Amino acid sequence: MMKLVSVSVFAALFSLPTFAQDYQDHDGMLMNHGEGHLMDMAGGMVMGNNPDTLPGGCDKIAETKEITVHAGHKYAEKFPGRMFAFDTQEFQFKPCTKLTVHFINDDNVRHQWMMHGLPKYLYPKGMFHLEVSGPAKISGTLILPPGDKTYLVHCDIAQHMEKGMKAQLKVGKGDGDLPSIPNVTANVVADDYKITLPELLEKAHAEANLPEPEPVVELTKTAPVKPVVVEEESDFSGVTVIGLLLGVLVAPFLAKKFKGMTATEIVAYLFDLTNSLIELAITTVQRLIKSMQK
Ligand SMILES: [Cu+2]
């Protein structure tokens, strides 16, 4: 009974904030797993959280900034052909800025705010990553590296970036623009709603300078089957000859070696020898493969 009461009290306590606002706030519930990896039982996640350590090349924190980024289907409505988007597609900060990102997922699916290309000695896999199933809010902090660079920010859930959830974050002046950012840069593959599929295929063929496609072969006719001739192997293959030769050469040596040994000792010795020969063969083959890969 006490168990039931305490469970209900806990449930009530945790559901209170949900009544107070229309999304779940994950910030107070995160458990620290070390190396900037925070997680909670409700599926909220922060990776690469770094509020303290300065990246190499930063003498001090240049500025402290806080942003709130929304993610959701409704932010893609203004972008033709897109399905998901952040409410902001471009960010710009001074190098060595301490940046706190409050990420609000307005959808009833999972979304991420994932930044790539950060220094790997400070951010595992070079990533700063907020992720939560919505509607929910999650926050994390990072310190931006020095230098002018453009960083990719996206949602890595299958097809979400391709469907529009993509942005760029410029540190300093940045180093160019990334493609296919809704309303910022042109798509790599431009959408064309007037062309039909056969026309599109024809156009793609012409652009790739490919020969005319082969006419479709009728599958009802079976091609004549060519009989396969198996050549019989001779009893004296190359391997046999080498084996015999080795045997003749090694026999006197072995006879000398085995003199005075018991049968068990001889068997043990032969076993060891075979083992080391196999090992030698394997390492030789491995070295050969390695040298061929270079
Ligand atoms: Cu997403």
The 10s digit of each residue's pLDDT in 24-57 is 788 777 788 777 888 877 778 999 999 999 999 9
Identify the pLDDT of residue 2.
Answer: 57
pLDDT in tens, 56-109: 999 999 999 999 999 999 999 999 889 999 999 999 999 999 999 999 999 999
For residue 163, the CA-to-ligand 1 centroid distance in Å is: 9
DSSP secondary structure letter of residue 35: T
- The Å distance, Cα 84 to ligand 1 centre, comes to 7
CA distance 278 to 240: 18
What pLDDT does residue 16 have?
A: 45
Confidence grade of residue 20 (pLDDT, cut at 50, 70, 90): very low
State the Cα–Cα distance between residues 60 and 2, nearest whole angstrom.
53
In the predicted model, is pLDDT for residue 10 greater than 70? no
At 19 the pLDDT is 41
Q: Indicate whether this model's pTM tops 0.75.
A: no
Instruction: Tell me which residues have their CB within 5 A of the ion that is ligand 1.
Output: 111, 155, 157, 160
- For residue 32, give the DSSP letter: E
How far apart are the CA of 157 and the centre of ligand 1, in A?
Answer: 5
Cβ contacts of 132 within 8 Å, gap of 6 or more: 26, 43, 44, 45, 103, 105, 110, 111, 138
User: What's the pLDDT score for residue 172?
Assistant: 96
What confidence tier does 251 reach under pLDDT thresholds 50, 70, 90?
confident
CA 226 to ligand 1 centroid distance, Å: 54
pLDDT digits (tens, 9 = 90+) for 194-227: 777 788 788 888 888 766 666 655 555 555 666 6
Distance 156 CA to ligand 1 centre (A): 6
Q: How many angstroms separate the alpha carbon of residue 173 from the centre of ligand 1?
A: 28
Percentage of residues in the chain having pLDDT higher than 70 = 81
Specify the higher pLDDT residue, 256 or 150.
150
Ligand 1 mean position to 64 CA, how many Å?
27
The answer to whether residues 89 and 161 touch, using CB atoms and an 8 Å cutoff, is no
